[in-house]
Amino acid sequence: MTRSLLSISELGVAGVGRILDLADHMAEVNRRPNPKVPALRGKTVCNLFFEDSTRTRLSFETAAKRLSADTMTFAVSQSSLNKGESLRDTIETIGAMGVDAFVIRHGSSGAPWQLGQWTTASVVNAGDGWHAHPTQALLDMYTVRVALNRREGFDGLRVAIVGDVKHSRVARSTSAAFRLLGADVTLVAPRTLLPPVHDEHSTSDLDDVLDDVDVVYLLRLQRERMSEALVPTLREYTNRFGLTPARAARLGKHVLVMHPGPMNRGVEIAVDPAELPGNVITQQVTNGISVRMAVLFDLLGSGSESSLAGGADG
């Protein structure tokens, strides 16, 4: 049975809880002087990144190595895709070398599902188009859970996700995960960058929500995905939706400030995050390794109950 991690909704609340519990074990491994365990010896993980990435690619690679899995990293720019080989043929070629999991980032929404049709290996969605980025959502949930010591869920937690919601797969996956765990999520963005459904869960007035939140989640303004003038000027965007010194001063000390990276300093975040009491942006990166270890171990390290008789204790 092949299992994959494609979206938060397919994972479900039980799956999210399972991954977050496993991440505690991985975080303990990562705190050791020698942060490596033999759990996935003999497994091979292939990273397929069709879009630029620093932290997600390195995070998955580190996660696989700390579990003793072998890694292959596929650089699209140096591949036979440039000679006209189709994606399907490329996948089948790599698969023939023996791969247990593909980690894929692709500019087209749905690409990981398509990949799943072509391979018997597990597929992990590392970001597809505007659609989903489930491991980012999981590491965000883990970061909040650890920072606020909320193991039992996020009932009553007030979260504002601020910025370029429209283009953001992070906003989609992270808001879905927050809601799955019981938090109240408000999307804050210019009208041009909000989803078409306007309700009490979305607003264009950041100052209106800032006094009543526990988590401020800033999104990156994705200028590379904008083909039209959705934002008048960067300065106006910062004035209305950026975390400016004036807004930072209004935040309660308990309020967590999060950002998926990479940050546009001076745009969505116009203060030095290191000076914010609730800044957990660095922890998000660190936790990303633990959470991706948990995801890989959950997919590749588990089997069915019946395949091994007895031997559970002893």
Partner 1 sequence: MAAEQQSRAKQVLGPDDVRRAITRIAHEITERNRGASGVALVGIQTGGVWVAEALAGEIERIDDAGAGVRVGSVDASLYRDDIGLRPVSPGAVSELTFTIDGATVVLVDDVLYTGRTVRAALDAVGDYGRPRLVQLAVLVDRGHRELPIRPDYVGKNLPTSSEEIVTVTSDGVVIS
Catalytically active residues are: 55-56, 83, 105, 133
Distance between CA atoms of residues 98 and 109, nearest Å:
26
Cβ distance to partner 1 smaller for residue 16 or 132:
16
Strands 202-203 and 215-218: unpaired
Under rule CB under 8 A, how many of the chain's residues touch partner 1? 31
The pair of three-digit structure tokens given for residue 103, joined into one six-digit string: 């980690």
Among 14, 96, 229, 308, binds partner 1 (CB under 8 A): 308
DSSP state of 219: P
**CB distance 101 to 117 below 8 Å:** no
Q: Least distance to partner 1 from the beta carbon of 1, Å? A: 12
**One of 78, 117, 149, 314 touching partner 1 (CB under 8 A):** 314
Of 104-112, 190-198, 241-249, 302-310, which segment contacts partner 1 by CB under 8 A? Answer: 302-310
Residue 200: how many CB atoms within 10 A of its CB? 7
Nearer to partner 1, 36 or 223 (CB): 36
Cα 240 to the center of its chain, rounded Å: 26
Q: Which is nearer to partner 1, 25 or 201 (CB)?
A: 25
CA dist., res. 217 & res. 184, Å (int) = 13
φ, ψ of residue 47 to 5 degrees: the values are: -90, 120
- Taking the least distance from each CB to partner 1, the nearer of 192 and 286 is 286
Work out how close the CB of 95 gets to partner 1 at its nearest, in angstroms, rounded to a whole number: 19
3-state secondary structure of 62: helix
How many Å from the N-terminal Cα to the C-terminal Cα in the chain? 27
Residues 1-40 close enough to bind partner 1 by CB under 8 A: 18, 21-22, 24-25, 27-29, 32, 34, 36-40
Is 105:49 a contact under the CB 8 Å cutoff? yes
Q: Of 110-169, which residues contact partner 1 (CB under 8 A)?
A: none
Q: Strands, DSSP E only, in 198-255?
A: 202-203, 215-218
Options 129-137, 210-218, 282-290, 301-309: segment touching partner 1 (CB under 8 A): 301-309
Backbone phi, psi, residue 191, to 5°: -55, -35
Euclidean distance between CA atoms 109 and 147, whole angstroms: 32
Cβ 232 vs Cβ 174: under 8 Å: no
For the segment 54-93, give every residue that binds partner 1 (CB under 8 A): 67
Residue closer to partner 1 (CB basis): 204 or 283: 283
d(CA 45, CA 64): 7
Beta carbon nearer to partner 1, 249 or 312: 312
Is 310 a binding residue for partner 1 by CB under 8 A? The answer is yes
Contacts to partner 1 by CB under 8 A: 18, 21-22, 24-25, 27-29, 32, 34, 36-40, 67, 297-298, 300-305, 307-308, 310-314
